[in-house]
Amino acid sequence: MWGVIFALCLIWGAAVLSGASMAVYVNLPSFLMVIGISGVIMLFSWDLKTIGRCFRAVFSKSATDQDIKLGIVFFPALTKYFFLSAAIGTGTGLIAILANLSDNRAIGQVVALALLCIYYSLVLTLLVTLPFGTSLRRRLIEQGDS
């Protein structure tokens, strides 16, 4: 948990030091696209009970080996869902750019949509799926099962 907080502080600090307002990093349509598409794909691939077991396995010291192994499969899959949703968001943004080449204001908004979809998927991967998956793999190895 402290690693996630530290990483968020580093991201925030880099943004502030770059001179950009934090508001430029907030784009609800981009965030909803990444979370929404990833969530839909996740729900078509995994049932809610299994998803809950995978997240609980990260935080519970008494997680079963089966829950840990499920999490080891789940979190890399979630990473792929984040990246696929970012690709869809970027493609959506690029199509909107080409459709609005004469409107400079609209171009800026859709470029932000496209780039922030990638940004959000990378941040979610950095802060959620990679550390959670690594934690579960490490725990499984420490338990003597590889």
- Separation of alpha carbons 85 and 117, rounded Å: 8
Dmax of the chain from CA atoms?
A: 62
- Separation of alpha carbons 91 and 89, rounded Å: 5
Closest CA to 83 of 134, 41, 54, 49: 41
Where do the domains of the chain lie? 26-142
Measured over the CA atoms of residue 80, residue 85, residue 86 and residue 87, the dihedral's sign is: positive
pLDDT in tens, the chain (146 residues): 677 778 778 877 887 788 877 788 888 989 999 999 999 999 999 999 999 999 999 999 899 999 999 999 999 999 999 999 999 999 998 998 888 888 888 788 888 888 999 999 999 999 999 999 999 999 999 887 54
Contact between 72 and 136 (Cβ < 8 Å): yes
